[in-house]
Chains A and B, each alone.
Chain A
């Protein structure tokens, strides 16, 4: 148990579906992140939120829409995804936003787009 909880653990969706990924952290951290992990590729940072304000959007397609209602919760809304979006989506948190901050990851959502 890392203190970062992600749901669902697995998700299969068609290209026309709309779904959401949820992340909750119980660590009292101020920064939250969405990462994409594809096979044989480095982790890709998608979004960063600090004190629920988005501070980074790493040129992510608009079919991925993040939402951060408070410092403890982070969502990733998905719509009209492509098969190449199939990957492990990891949520992470850190005490504050900064390049020397230790990241705490959730267990991830394994997404398959058919």
Chain B
């Protein structure tokens, strides 16, 4: 069936290192959304990408939407402890929002 695959499942980084999560769809998406869920919290909307090849930045976060509108990435530069959480992508497929399984960002002590 139609899916949104997200990798990796976990990423352990030292504070100050970069972090990237990737999202791939089996079909072309009209848009893609990204959410962040802090430990013990609920998903919070970060951004929506609509255009082919679109790149948007929010401070240390860079979001990209692929040219074919089938993949997307979120890159965090110089991670901080406040970045800890699980990052989800979600794309509309068959009139529903289909979610990736999330990438958990863990900062090594």
Q: Which residues of A contact B (CB under 8 A)?
A: 2, 40-43, 45, 56, 58, 90, 99-100, 102-108
Contact call A102/B100, Cβ cutoff below 8 A: no
Contact call B99/A102, Cβ cutoff below 8 A: no
Which B68-109 residues have a C-beta within 8 angstroms of A? 88, 90, 92, 95-102
Q: Which residues of B contact A (CB under 8 A)?
A: 4, 9, 30-31, 33, 35, 41-45, 48, 50, 88, 90, 92, 95-102
User: Would you call the interface of chain A mostly helix, strand, loop, or mixed?
Assistant: loop
A-B pair number, CB within 8 angstroms? 49
Query: Closest residue of chain A to B9, judged by CB?
Result: A40
Query: Closest residue of chain A to B101, judged by CB?
Result: A42
Give Cα A41–Cα B102 distance, bound, in whole angstroms: 8
**Can you offer 30 A-B residue contacts whose CB atoms are under 8 A?**
A2-B44, A40-B9, A40-B101, A41-B101, A42-B4, A42-B88, A42-B99, A42-B100, A42-B102, A43-B99, A45-B96, A45-B97, A90-B43, A99-B31, A99-B95, A99-B96, A99-B97, A100-B30, A100-B31, A100-B48, A100-B50, A100-B92, A102-B45, A103-B35, A103-B45, A103-B97, A104-B45, A105-B42, A106-B42, A107-B41
